[in-house]
């Protein structure tokens, strides 16, 4: 493993590395990749978008094969293999030869199942006799044995028909067997091993690593079969039987360890609950929670590394799905502002304000405009509808002069804006109420009464009704005439 990967996070020196990109030499912690350990998917590098290594589960088995090769040589395993091989060799020519082979195979299957189960949970130590005798998982063990029996049937039929045919069948069966056994361990029944959709999903989730695993299993099975076939010409039957049991025991334990390791390494992609529960509480967060958080973290790293354009794209893609997320919008505002393109920044703010008003959030639009007023350099929203609703919200927030300014600058001939009379009457009310400018207020009212008398009457009627409901005096009692 790269030394950098084993050290500290590049952006949080007080946290250790959890995710590592070999191509970018980028070590990241769980803060840089929020919710990543809870999601059943690859964790992409924020810079190159390639899947990152999960440091918590170690390297792929082919990077350091020695621990896997010597795993079957544990003392308990060696004793078991010696006993099984001796039993089969001694009884190979007797009446109990078939019974000995069946019993030895059943014991080997049991041990392999326990090895897979323990390895999938992250254990690297060989199982003890107590763990092998644990009756809690015997039902799953039977499903596991049934799957191996199903896989052995075509190989046996090929051997009966022709030796070459058996070898041709052995290779694809050995390549598919790991996925079949994984399906049994994950789902707990043999039917999953025969479901091609389940097998396909497992292969896709593991990706290229499954190709290496399947190739290794197929080559080992083929090499063992050919070796035993050649030895059959020179060795007596009893010795060949014992040697075959020894070889298949070693191969079975090695394969079981590799399968368990892959289950543990790709536990998130496979949504393998037992392994996930052991590492972290596996509660899948809602998309509206984890997607914005991940986008913000990735965009922050991209911006730090100087790729501001990619950071904007990352936040923009997240905003397509979560347009109301305040954190995403605020960070996107900052990214646009840092581009030093005033026109682009104003166009962005125009869209933001319009969306807020359209969602009946004029107060949020007013707050956004006020907080960015300095950066906008006196700019006002171009869309009349946005100005109108923002002005009412600004008045409530104690900015009547700004509100009046917005209303007075509304276009008087915009055919797309149908609330101009009401906006002018609101401006007249504010002029009279806040600035005591009765002359300009009267001019505005006269203009509205002359062009939109019915709309003006309706507006004043609504105001009188609102005042009556709140036990206040009407705003413009002089209009009673």
pLDDT digits (tens, 9 = 90+) for 95-135: 677 888 888 888 888 889 889 988 888 788 888 877 777 77
Contact 112, 252 (CB under 8 A): yes
Predicted TM-score (pTM) of the model is 0.58
Answer whether residue 56 shows pLDDT above 80.
no
For 223-248, the pLDDT digits (tens) are 888 888 888 888 888 888 889 999 99
Cα angle 83-86-87, degrees, rounded to a multiple of 5: 85
DSSP state, residue 44: B
Lowest-confidence pick of 179-188, 252-261, 291-300, 355-364: 355-364
What average pLDDT score do residues 334-355 get?
Answer: 79
Task: Give the pLDDT of residue 60.
Answer: 78
pLDDT for 387: 79
Contact 283, 38 (CB under 8 A): yes
Question: pLDDT value at position 301?
Answer: 94
The secondary structure of 124-141 as a DSSP string is -SPPPHHHHT-GGGHHHH
Q: Is the pLDDT of residue 253 over 90?
A: yes
Q: Residue 66: name the closest of 257, 249, 219 by CA.
A: 257
> Which residues partner with 16 through β-bridges?
8
Of 274, 252, 249, the closest CA to residue 264 belongs to 274
Query: Which residue shows structure tokens 């923009």?
Result: 316
pLDDT at 5: 44
pLDDT digits (tens, 9 = 90+) for 266-311: 887 787 766 655 445 445 678 888 899 999 999 999 999 988 889 9
% residues pLDDT > 70 (the chain): 87
Tens-place pLDDT, residues 150-182? 878 877 776 666 666 777 788 888 889 899 999
Average pLDDT along the chain: 81
pLDDT of the residue at 480: 40
Task: For residues 157 and 149, give the distance between their C-alpha atoms in angstroms, rounded to a whole number.
Answer: 12
Supply the Cα-derived Rg of the chain in whole angstroms. Answer: 37
How large is the angle between the packed helices 237-265 and 163-187, nearest 10 degrees? 40
């Amino acid at each position: 493993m790269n030394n950098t990967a084993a050290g500290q996070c590049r952006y949080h020196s007080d946290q250790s590395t959890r995710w590592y990109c070999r191509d970018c030499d980028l070590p990241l912690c769980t803060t840089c990749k929020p919710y990543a350990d809870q999601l059943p998917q690859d964790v992409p590098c924020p810079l190159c978008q390639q899947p990152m290594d999960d440091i918590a589960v170690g390297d792929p088995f082919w990077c350091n094969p020695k621990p896997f090769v010597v795993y079957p040589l544990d003392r308990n395993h060696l004793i078991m293999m010696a006993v099984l091989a001796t039993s089969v060799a001694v009884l190979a020519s007797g009446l109990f030869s078939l019974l000995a082979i069946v019993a030895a195979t059943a014991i080997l299957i049991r041990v392999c199942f326990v090895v897979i189960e323990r390895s999938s949970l992250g254990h690297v130590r060989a199982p003890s006799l107590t763990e092998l005798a644990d009756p809690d998982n015997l039902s799953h063990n039977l499903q596991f044995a049934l799957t191996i029996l199903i896989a052995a049937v075509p190989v046996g039929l090929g051997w009966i028909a022709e030796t070459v045919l058996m070898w041709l069948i052995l290779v694809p069966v050995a390549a598919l067997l790991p996925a079949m056994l994984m399906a049994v361990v994950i789902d707990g029944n043999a039917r999953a091993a025969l479901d091609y959709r389940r097998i396909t999903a497992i292969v896709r989730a593991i990706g290229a690593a499954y190709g290496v695993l399947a190739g290794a299993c197929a080559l080992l099975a083929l090499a063992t079969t050919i070796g035993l076939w050649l030895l059959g010409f020179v060795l007596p039957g009893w010795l060949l039987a014992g040697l075959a049991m020894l070889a298949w025991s070693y191969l079975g334990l090695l394969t079981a360890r590799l399968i368990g390791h892959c289950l543990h390494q790709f536990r998130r992609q496979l949504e393998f609950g037992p392994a996930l529960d052991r590492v972290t509480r596996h509660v899948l967060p809602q998309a509206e929670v984890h997607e914005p958080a991940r986008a913000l973290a990735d965009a922050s790293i991209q911006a730090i590394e100087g790729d501001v354009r990619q950071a904007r794209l990352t936040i923009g893609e997240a905003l397509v799905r979560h347009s109301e997320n305040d954190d995403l919008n605020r960070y996107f505002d900052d990214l646009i502002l840092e581009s030093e393109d005033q026109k682009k920044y104003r166009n962005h703010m125009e869209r933001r304000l319009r969306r807020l008003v359209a969602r009946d959030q004029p107060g949020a639009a007013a707050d956004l405009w006020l907080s960015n007023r300095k950066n906008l350099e006196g700019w006002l929203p171009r869309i009349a509808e946005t100005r109108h609703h923002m002005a009412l919200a600004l008045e409530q927030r104690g900015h009547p002069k700004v509100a009046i300014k917005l209303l007075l600058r509304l276009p008087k001939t915009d055919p797309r804006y149908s609330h101009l009379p009401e906006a002018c009457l609101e401006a007249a009310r504010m002029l009279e109420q806040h600035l005591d400018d009765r002359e300009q207020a009267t001019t505005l009212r006269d203009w509205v009464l002359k062009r939109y008398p019915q709309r003006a009457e309706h507006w004043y009627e609504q105001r009188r009704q609102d005042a009556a409901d709140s036990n206040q005096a009407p705003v413009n009692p002089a209009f009673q005439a």
